[in-house]
Chains A and B, each alone.
Chain A
Amino acid sequence: MICWSCEKNAGDGMLCEGCGAVQPPDHTADHFRIFGLPRTFALDVVDLERRYKEMTKVLHPDRFARADGRARRASLERSVQLNRAWQTLSQPVTRAEYLLSLEGIEVGEPTGSKNSEGTDSRATQPVDTALLIEVMELRESLAEARARGDNPKVASLVASVQALHDKEMVEVAAAFAASQPNLAVIAARLVAARYYRRFLEEAEPHGEGDKGMAK
C-alpha cells in the first residue's frame, strides 16, 4: 500500500511505516487478520483483548481531533472495522458462526431474506426434527409453567436449557480442535445453541413473561 500522505510504501500496519500517518482500512481483511491472528476458534481471549485495547488507543479520536480530514476518516473507518471484529471474535458463539461463514456456511442469516420476491421455498435450512420436537416440548413446558405461575419449574427449565446450550458450545470447541473439523456437524450444533438461546431469552422475566410471573 502506498501512503496517502508521504506517497511511499506504508507497510501493512495501521500507521505508515515511513511517516506514521493512519492508513485507510483494507476492507477485504477478515476479522482475524485485523488483529494479526490466524483463523482459529481456539484463540486466547486475553491476548485478543490486549491487542484490541492497544489498537483502540492508537485509533483514539482525540489523537485525530486536529488531523487532516483524510486521517480522521481513515482512523474512524479503522475504528468501526476494529470494533466489529472485536465484537465478533470475543464471543465464542459469534466467533464460531463467523468461522463457518468464512467457509460459506451461514448459520445466522436466513438465506430467504436475500430474495426480495420471497419465492424461494428452500430458503429455510432444514433443522433436525429431533431438535425441533425437543424445543417445541421445552417451549410448551415453559408456557404451561408460566401460566400456572410455577416459578421453580421455570427456573429449573432455564437451568437445564442453559446446560444444554453450554454442552453444545463445549462440543463446538472440541469439533473445531479436530485436524479436519466437520463443519456440517459444527453448524448443526450452532443451530441447536441458537434454539436454546432463544428459549433462554424468552424465559427471562420481562416482557410477556411478566403476566405469568406476576400471578
Chain B
Amino acid sequence: MAYSGKVIDHYENPRNVGSLDKDAPNVGTGLVGAPACGDVMKLQIQVSDSGVIEDAKFKTFGCGSAIASSSLATEWIKGMTLEQAMSVRNTQIVQELSLPPVKIHCSVLAEDAIKSAIADYRRKQRGSQAQVGQA
C-alpha cells in the first residue's frame, strides 16, 4: 500500500513518543485497541489547572497509519482545552494524512484514544474532589 508523504513523515519522525506518569492526578491515560489488526494504542494527556492540555504522549504498536494517526493527534491536542480536544474528529485525521478507506479505523482509534484519555483524567479529578469533600 502506498502511504502518503505525511504518514511516512509521522511514521519516521513520530512526535511525542513516550509515557507520562499514569498515576499522577493531572494525567489522563487512554488505552484502546483494534481487534481486527491487533493494534494497541496508548495516549496520555497532562492537564493544567486551567484545563489546558500542556503535554501529550503516545505509544502505539501497529501499522504506519496507526502510528501516524496517534502522532498527529498528540501534536494537535497540545495546547487545546479538554472541550476542544473532545471535538477532534477522526475525519480531520483522515483528511490531514490522506488515509485510504482501509486505514480509516486507525484514525477512529486515535479519536477514541483522545476521548478515553480525557475520560480517565475527568474520572481522576472527580475522585480527588470527592476525597477533598470527605476530608
Q: Which residues of A approach B to under 8 Å, CB–CB? A: 107-110, 112-113, 115-121, 123-125, 127, 129, 131-133, 135-136, 139-140, 191, 194-195, 197-199, 202
Across-interface contacts of B38 in A (CB, < 8 A): 194-195, 197-199
A113 touches B61 (CB 8 A): no
B105 touches A127 (CB 8 A): no
A118 touches B108 (CB 8 A): yes
Q: Does B42 reach chain A (CB closer than 8 Å)? A: yes
Take A118-B90, A140-B59 as given contacts and tell me if A132 and B108 are in contact as well, using a CB distance cutoff of 8 Å: no
Across-interface contacts of A118 in B (CB, < 8 A): 90-91, 94, 101, 104, 107-108
Contact of A136 among B59, B105, B108 (CB under 8 A): B59
Q: How large is the interface on B (under 10, 10 to 19, 20 to 34, 35 or more residues)?
A: 20 to 34
In the bound complex, CA of A207 to CA of B52 (Å): 40
A195 touches B105 (CB 8 A): no
Instruction: List CB contacts (< 8 Å) of B25-83 with chain A.
Output: 31-40, 42, 59, 61
Contact of A132 among B33, B111, B115 (CB under 8 A): B33
B36 touches A117 (CB 8 A): no
Across-interface contacts of A113 in B (CB, < 8 A): 101-102, 104-105
Q: Which residues of B approach A to under 8 Å, CB–CB? A: 31-40, 42, 59, 61, 89-91, 94, 101-102, 104-105, 107-109, 111-112, 115
CB distance from B7 to the nearest CB of A (A): 15
Please give me the residue from chain A that is nearest to B61 by CB atom: A139
CB distance from A191 to the nearest CB of B (A): 4
Across-interface contacts of B33 in A (CB, < 8 A): 124, 127, 131-132, 135, 195
